[in-house]
Each structure stands twice: as C-alpha cells, then as structure tokens.
Amino acid sequence: MGTNGEPPPEDVFNILLATDIHLGYEEKDPIRGRDSFVTFEEILKIAVEREVDFILLGGDLFHISKASADSMHRCMLLLRKYCMGDRPISFEFLSDQDKNFLNTTQTVVNYEDPNINVSVPVFSIHGNHDDPVGQSHISSLDLLSCAGLVNYFGKNLDLQNIVVSPILLQKGDTRLALYGLSHVKDKRLVRLFEEEKVTFEQPTEHGGEWFNICVLHQNRAARGVKEYIPEDQLPEFMDLIVWGHEHDCRVVPEEAPHGQYHITQPGSSVATSLSEGEAIPKCVGLLKVYKKKFLIESIPLKTVRPFVFREICASEFNFTDDDMRDASEQLEEKAEETVNIMIQDAGKMLTDHEDQPTLPLIRLRFYYTDEAQMFNSVRFGQKFEDKIANPQELILMKRRVLERKEKRDVLDTEEMDRMFQEREDLTVEDYVLKYFKVKAEEGDESHCMSVLTALGLNEAVKASSDHQKTEAIEEIVKYQTERMKNYLLSLDINERNIDDEIKNFIIQKSGSERQDIHRELEKVSSSKAKTTASRNVASKSNHRDSNGNDEADQTIEDPDDEFEEEVAARGRGRGRGARTTRAARAPRASRGSRASSSSNRSRTAPQRTLPESFASQKTSSRSTANRSKVQFLDDDED
C-alpha cells in the first residue's frame, strides 16, 4: 500500500466512462449542430488531464449508422488530437486479440500497432444508433478501428448463439476482465438469455483475482414485455456493469437486486430528446480499480447546453370572473410567465466555459382538460426565438383526462398491471404445459397422454410453426412411440405392471430439459436424412444389379452422360457433332448396353438429391450449347 493507506498508483486502473455521445446529432441545425462535438472534445480533454489509462465507451458514439463525412472527419480530428502521442501505456494486454476483435477489421489493439503512437486508447462497443449495416455489416466504428483510432470490440454477427470473450488487461497487481456486449434487439437478447444461448467466458488462470466489468447497450427501464434486460439477468460473477443506451445520468453505482454486482449508468452527453431524463445534469465517470475494489468519481460536463424541463396543468390555475378573456388567452399568459422563469433558471446553469452554448433548451409540457384551453403552440414559440435554441419544440400540449370523483370500487392498478404482464409473458406452449400438469396433479388420467410427453409435443409444434418444419409433429410422434416400445422391450414386464412402467417413463421424460427435446428433433432429422441417403444407395444398387455392370453408377456420377442417354432413349436422330462431343469423353459402354440402360432407367428413374438435379440441369444446358455449336460446323462442312 502507498502512503496514507492508498494503493500504489502503478497498480490502479484509471478508466474514463462515457456513453451515448451521439456525434452528428442535429448537425444541420445552425444553432445545435456543434453541441455533440463540443462535449466530446471536453470528454477527451478530461481523459488527457486526468491521465487515464483508457476511455471506455458504452455505444452510440455516432447518432446514425452511416455517419456523414463531416461527422466522421470531425471525430477523427478530435481522436488524433487528444489520443495520439508519446505517453507510454502502463498496462498489458493478455488475452487473444484475434478472439477479442474477431468480427472487426482491425484485430490488433491500436497501441501495439508499430505504425501509430497512441497515448490514450479508446475501447468501444456499438449501440443501436451506430450498429453495423449493409451486406458487409460495417459500422462507423469499423472505419475508426481500421484507421487505428478506436478499439472496437463486442461485435456479434452470430445472433443465434452469442459468446462474449473478455479482454484481459493487467496493471501491476490488478487484473481486469472487460466484457463487451454490443446492442442486440431486446426481445431477441431476452430470448437468448432464456434459452441459455449467451455465454460469458471466464479466464482459467487467477480465477478469483479478476475484476470483471461488463459494458452493454440495452434497455434498462421496462418499456414493455421482454423489451428490456432485467438487472439481475447478467452473470453473477460480474463486479461492475456499465450500462449504455439510457440517457438519464446515474453515474453513482447502484447495487443490483440480488446484490452480486453494481451498475453505473453514465447517460448521454447531449440531449437528443426533450424529455425529463435528459434534463438531469450530464456527467462522465472516472473509474478507479485496485484488485477487487473500485471507486467511481462523477465529473460534471461544463460544455453541455442548459436544458430545463417542466410540467404544468391547466387545472392548477384559478381565474377570476372579472377577466373577460377566454380561457386559452389566460392560460397562454400563464405559460409565458412559466417559460420566462425557466429561462432564468437556465441562466443559472451556465458554467462560464468558453465553449458552452448560451441559448438554452426549454421544454414545457402543458396538460389541458378541455380543448377550449388550447392555444397556438407555433405562435407561442415564436415569442422566444432569440431567447432559446428550440422555439419550434418549446411547448408540448397533452390532454389529461380527469378522474371521476365517484368510484364504486377502488382498483389496485399495480396488481392489475402485474397480472397482465404475467399473462403477456406466457405463450400457448406454456398454457398447454400448465393444462397437462394440472390434470396430472388432479389424477385425471382421461386427459393425460400415456405415450407422448407434453414437452416433446410442445417443442414439435413450436418447430413446425416457428421454423417451418412441417414434418416435426409427425416425426416426434413416431420417435417417442418407438422410444416407448424400446423401453418396454428392455424391461421384464407383464400385463399387470405395463401401465405402471409407462407412467414412470412419462414422468421421467416430462421432467427433462428442453435441450433433450431439441436433441430428439435433431436425431429425427438426422435419421430421416440417413434414410433418404440409404434409399438413394439402394436405388443405385438396383440399377447396377439389373444391368450387370456399373453403367448406372457412371450415369449418376456424370450428369452430362445422363442427359445424352435420356436423349438417346427418346430418339436416334443425331448429327455428327453430337457423336464428336461424346467421343471426346472417357471410353463408354457399347450402344446396345446404353440403349438397354436408358430404357430401363426410363421405366424406373433413380431418386436424386436436389444438388444433383440442379447439376443435371446446368450440365444439360451446356451440352445443348455444345451440340448446337458442333452442328453448325457440320453444316458449314456440307
């Protein structure tokens, strides 16, 4: 330990945390177009002044996937200005870089590239705004990565089975495992978590000494059923979660519901929506990690445009009978007074930073109860054109329905919402399983299946409807029936105990996991494929046996030959060109044997696989072209 009980600086990671910078937001607006770049430059300045080891970004560096040339140019200039230099890097990169940067254009961490000098490395995942697009799945971060300005990690192209491999870093005695999970649609990611198809790999060496950080970009607030990631969904071995995508600033670490890890939410650095959450003061976090301990310092941003949000309701104001003006005029006057107060409050938010914009963002949410209380919002905003940055979006008028005073019953709305959410989370398969479970508990054998399992039938129905496997139900019934037969034949049973053995087997299989059923479906598919292949082989053998030679095998292996023999079976009219083409190939059997084989094949055509059929069609077209060319030469000779 250092002086005063503090850890030695050479063992402490200093990491600057920021998310949702949204470079290029409103870039064509003459007033607000530079806001995102001004604040991004301030963040980079903080990183240099605090001498951080690296910057960790939680997604949405750019506001759109295909950033404009101007936005990309400004970003690259800032990164070159503040992140390039001769300051040495004080930590080691221990993990396999080819695995960490698997799907990116640059598979080497930029500060180890001998062609560039990096003083402040930047590690970033992508968000929902700057995600990969196009046939090549390229994002704006790929361009920065290719230029050696950003270390882009956490990019997943396989959305059926996500594997998150950590970046392993070491500084002195402190070991850091950095997990990156770039944005995936919330419903898809929730389903993958439920199906246990999201894997977080752990380092095998120094097991309990790693400080595990996971940075992700997903919905944290509940925005609908399965439209967010529950806070307790992530692996419990994590120590800190850096949550991107949410714009309200909550840098101070919050303990997860199960208490296994903490969550920090830096929020956005620029207001992209005029909502209440965006009005919270913007900050970045300075994370310090020493072994298994950490500390986050909240650093306020001084170049953010002031933003004040407020709500008023028309029912809050009482008007005197002496005022002859209508309600809308009186309410417009009250709203104007409120906006002037908000502008004064915004003036108190100025930090005297030379780059901070002075015109504030003002948003007044006005609730009315009667349409007679409405007034012209566009004309109202024009009164403040020279005082605020968003006069067109100054006021938002929403109707509020007053609650009835007389209520017969007081409803527990929270309980109702919970019940509806539980119902929405259930699927048809869940109801089927619940039905058979209840019938089994009640002992109603007339409504219980005696051979099939409810789970197996459910998965077959799901495979048939979701994955278009039309034969899944029929095949799973055959498979489970055959499985029951084999099970009973392996036991010493009689008529008296056969029912008990069937029940025991069903109970045993009903408790199996879904993975077992998926394996059953895979076995069915593989057995079906083997059956089809064996039929093809048997068909080939029949042709070989009937002809007494290997003519059938040669015909199937060479689609060109098959086409010619089929033509020969239809008629004998051929030009010399056709014979010339056939003679150019390997020696064949006599014409008599070919005619016999062709006529036999015309009676019982062998089964061919789909690729073989397409190959025959392609070769047939080539053979036709060849014959037409040779026939043309024959005509010239004549």
HEC per residue, 295-360: EEEEEECCCCCCEEEEEEEHHHCCCCCCCCCCHHHHHHHHHHHHHHHHHHHHHCCCCCCCCCCCCC
Written as one letter, the residue type at 353 is: H
Is residue 597 within 8 A of residue 555, CB to CB? The reply is yes
> Is pLDDT at 252 greater than 80 in this prediction?
yes
Q: What is the pLDDT of residues 479-502, one digit of tens each?
A: 878 888 888 788 777 777 777 777
Model confidence at 567: pLDDT above 60: no
- CA proximity to 390, closest of 356, 358, 361: 361
The answer on pLDDT for 216 being more than 90 is yes
Which amino acid would we find at residue 364? L
Task: Round to whole Å and give the CA distance between 341 and 336.
Answer: 9
pLDDT tens-digit series, residues 162-193? 999 999 999 999 999 999 999 999 999 999 99
| Known catalytic membership, residue 518 | no
Which is the catalytic residue, given 129, 217, 245, 543?
A: 129
Q: In what order do the strands lie in the sheet with 293-300?
A: 151-152, 122-124, 54-57, 13-18, 283-290, 293-300
What pLDDT score was predicted for residue 172?
95
Confidence band for 359, pLDDT divided at 50, 70 and 90:
very high
- b/e per residue, 508-538, with b = 16+ CB within 10 A? ebbeeeeeebeebbeebeeeeeeeeeeebee
The band of 442, judged by pLDDT with boundaries at 50, 70 and 90, is: confident
Across the range 393-422, mean pLDDT stands at 67
Tokens 């539980």 appear where? 422
pLDDT more than 90, % of the chain? 51
Q: What angle do CA 463, 465, 468 make, to 5 degrees?
A: 75
Q: Tokens 């790999």, residue?
A: 201
Are the beta carbons of 104 and 156 closer than 8 angstroms?
Answer: no
Please, which residues bridge with residue 262 across strands? Answer: 240, 255
pLDDT score, position 422: 55
- Report the pLDDT value the prediction gives residue 587, as an integer from 0 to 100: 38
Question: What's the pLDDT score for residue 612?
Answer: 47
User: What pLDDT is attached to residue 298?
Assistant: 97
Residues 555 and 306: their CA atoms lie apart, in Å, by: 80
Residue 303 pLDDT class (50, 70, 90 cuts) = very high
Please spell the DSSP secondary structure of 463-483, one letter per residue: HHHHS--TTHHHHHHHHHHHH
Q: Across all residues in the chain, what is the average pLDDT?
A: 79
Which ranges in 53-119 belong to alpha helices (H)? 69-83, 97-100
Listed in sequence order, the residues at least 6 apart from 504 whose beta carbon sits closer than 8 Å to its beta carbon are none
pLDDT band at 607 (very low <50, low <70, confident <90, very high): very low
Q: What is the pLDDT of residues 72-119, one digit of tens each?
A: 999 999 999 999 999 999 999 999 999 999 888 788 999 999 999 999
Lowest pLDDT segment from 101-105, 349-353, 559-563:
559-563
Residue of 498, 505, 500 lying closest to 484 (CA atoms): 505
What pLDDT is recorded for position 307?
97
The average pLDDT across 505-527 equals 59
pLDDT for residue 224: 82
How far is the C-alpha of 157 from the C-alpha of 141, rounded, in Å? 15
Question: Percent of the chain scored above 70 by pLDDT?
Answer: 70
Q: Quote the tokens at residue 318.
A: 């009482």
What is the pLDDT at residue 22?
Answer: 96
pLDDT of residue 582: 39
Question: Is residue 316 packed enough to be buried (19+ CB in 10 Å), middle (13-18) or exposed (0-12)?
Answer: exposed
